Chains A and B, each alone.
Chain A
Amino acid sequence: MLTIKNLHASINGKEILKGIDLVVKPGEVHAIMGPNGSGKSTLSSVLAGNPAFEVTDGSVDFYGKDLLALSPEDRSHEGIFLSFQYPVEIPGVSMVNFMRAAVNAKRKYWGEEPLSATDFLKMMREKRAIVELDNKLASRSVNEGFSGGEKKRNEIFQMAMLQPRLSILDETDSGLDIDALRIVSQGVNQLRTDQNATIVITHYQRLLDYIAPDFVHVLYKGRIVKSGGPELALELEEKGYDWIKKEVDA
């Protein structure tokens, strides 16, 4: 579904991604790990189309479409979902209005009628149960006054609402206590099918105990320097990143 070739990207003239290659197929879970500043979050931002970053080289193909040529909202409609590391607060905008705008924008893109209010509220009810958010969610402003754990659960709730083909979870585990981590992971697992794929960006093995990856990649200095199976994550947990840094920097 996703083929990234030689992707280079920079912010404010500083190159962060220096040639990323990655292929993701339906049904797969890819974990991207790496030390701070290696470019993990930049990769997720670039895939989602954050205008703060400039793509200087390379290509990204998503189901036969040139992803980099699409606007952020069209990427979303095509099925890219980014769970933000720091979800943004939008004061005064209720979750129900926000999600209705999002869901109906997607339906419009695919030539479908907007959902009726009844159907929409029913859908919200079903999906918020997945991440154990209560019924006050609908009337609360987007992420405003949410605890760290609630914000991340709210991200997974939105993922459930939008039913993406490719979900990118950007350090979804950061700032989560063990209960929230369990709820979030269970939510992600529940939404997995053989038709969709997930890229999990994380520092720690901990999250991968809950969301089992098929592939693990190590990002360092803007390149994927090592790829392997789930055992690679365990090795990193045990040995840290220094041995990889040494290998690369040598």
Chain B
Amino acid sequence: MKKESLNHQHNDSPASQTQRESEKIIGEVTSSDYKYGFVTDIDTEVIPRGLNEEVVRLISAKKHEPEWLLDFRLKAFAYWKTLEMPHWAHLDIPDIDFQAISYYAAPKTKNAPKSLDEVDPEVLDTFNKLGISLEEQMKLSGIAVDAVMDSVSVKTTFKEKLAELGIIFCSISEAVKDYPDLVRQYLGSVVPYRDNFFAALNSAVFSDGSFVYIPKGVRCPMELSTYFRINAANTGQFERTLIIADDDSYVSYLEGCTAPMRDENQLHAAIVEIRAHERAEVKYSTVQNWYPGDKEGRGGIYNFVTKRGLCKGDHSKISWTQVETGSAITWKYPSCILAGDNSVGEFYSVAVTNNYQQADTGTKMIHIGKNTRSTIVSKGISAGQSQNSYRGLVRVAPGADNARNYTQCDSLLLSDRCGAHTFPYMDIKNDTAVVEHEATTSKINEEQIFYCNQRGIPTEEAVGLIVNGYAKEVMSKLPMEFAVEAQKLLQITLEGSVG
């Protein structure tokens, strides 16, 4: 599209201005000479709904996978067929018809909005409050744009820099092709397909995800974010991530996005596997803000995730930080297996539920090596008629001498119709273990709100401030650029929840 033609438009409604603005950007990008600009290849293939062996074979074939990976999928599928959906969580999960789902990345173009005018104004409002750029807004809204509008040169520089250090950061599909030995060796080594119902399902049908390998002695100089991974837009509902940190390496990985992702898939079942070798450290941060359903509890994402890190080497460390504000149902327990001596596991979590959202989230710290340490800080915030549960397991194996765990588990209630629940489990098989557990439940204090009001701060902003203060201990663990957006997100999530 040429820019000149835009000058002849005379419709001046704000909406058309926005559209014109975005068209202008596209126009500028496509007309300028971007060396790395390319046209996204939009997949229009759909496979019929339903899940059977044929479908699993078809997914593997479409992705041109090697035989061993097909075998992995088929074994997982065969095992999944023997399982039943788990119901032990404190969640009211509607029946899910697994045969009514299409298991191959449905094209996003079919019903995708053509411009920001067609996107839910509430979503746009959130984008603006978060200060997300127009180009990102379009990308997140699933608008099919012919130009890659991100600064391609930034991405390229980024990739080149990582390559110099020998760091591999690509989609898992690419990794299967380019680094089959690494993937074959480690895929399923932390979360085996037999782990649970959703892990088996993911292993059978996973669509795509990220692969990270940090070589020995390398400290990854930047936060790795899916945002910078080319082809990241279409990871789909069964995402699979594998991160391997070799001896003496360090990486900080950011998952997700603070904006509400447009997604038509209701069921999400992801797997994240992390391996930390001798003295390696992995920091994994998530901000999850998928569609939580409307104010009456209709719709919303069901998020059943299996995340686990293996501290394989001595003195290794894995740290999970999560800010969970989205999804209608969250079932998620990022865990650490502390196998290496002196290894350290950390879990910092803020989980916010509003309206009719339900969250059952927490962690497992499995102490196997000697002198292993773990810290759990969980801050639950419930509003509206939501249900928010912390579920955590601390296990100390017989050989895990001098294991230490500290658990702090706080719940903040913002309404009198919501629920906060705590399910701490302990399984201690070694007398030298020291395990501490602290738990508090409090209701938001009306005196605090009035104090803020008196100083001129309106109630919604006051709640945002108070809640962010409450969650500060966890928020401070997030990388800087993430933390600012996450703070705004907490505030936005709770809008209208008090008063």
Contact = CB atoms under 8 A, between A and B. Distances in A.
Contacts of B461: 101, 105
A180 interface: no
A98 interface: yes
Contacts of A76: 453-456
B217 interface: no
Interface stretch (B52-60, B218-226, B362-370, B444-452): B444-452
B371 interface: no
B456 A88 contact: no
Given A90-B448, A92-B472, A92-B473, A48 B465 contact: no
Given A92-B473, A105-B458, A97 B453 contact: no
B455 A88 contact: no
A162 B454 CA distance: 11
Interface string B433-473: 00000000000011110111111111101000110111111
Contacts of A71: 453, 458
Nearest to B455: A102
Contacts of B453: 49, 71-73, 76
Which one of A93, A102, A103, A141 has the highest number of Cβ atoms from chain B below 10 Å of its Cβ?
A: A93
A169 interface: no
B223 to A, nearest CB: 24
Contacts, number: 79
Interface residues of B, number: 23
Nearest to B451: A88
A51 interface: yes
A50 interface: yes
Contacts of A106: 456
Contacts of B456: 73, 76-77, 102-103, 105-106, 109, 162
A106 B472 CA distance: 26
A241 interface: no
A97 B465 contact: yes
Contacts of B445: 88
Given A73-B457, A77-B456, A158-B455, A91 B465 contact: no
Main secondary structure of the interface of B (DSSP, over half): helix
Contact of B450 (A51, A91, A102): A51
A96 B465 CA distance: 12
A141 B454 contact: no
A60 to B, nearest CB: 16
A84 interface: yes
A188 interface: no
A75 B458 CA distance: 11
Contact of A141 (B459, B469, B471): B469
Nearest to A91: B469
Contacts of B458: 71, 73, 105
Given A101-B465, A105-B457, A105-B458, A91 B470 contact: yes
A90 B457 contact: no
B465 A87 contact: no
Interface in B207-253: none
Contact of A84 (B451, B459, B469, B470): B451
B471 A92 contact: yes
A136 B468 CA distance: 20
Interface of B: 445-448, 450-459, 461, 465-466, 468-473
24 contacts: A49-B454, A72-B454, A73-B456, A73-B458, A76-B453, A82-B454, A84-B451, A87-B451, A90-B452, A90-B466, A90-B469, A91-B470, A92-B471, A92-B472, A93-B469, A98-B452, A98-B457, A101-B465, A103-B456, A105-B458, A105-B461, A141-B469, A162-B455, A162-B456
Per CB-CB distance, the 4 closest pairs between chain A and chain B, nearest first, are A92-B469, A93-B469, A92-B472, A72-B453
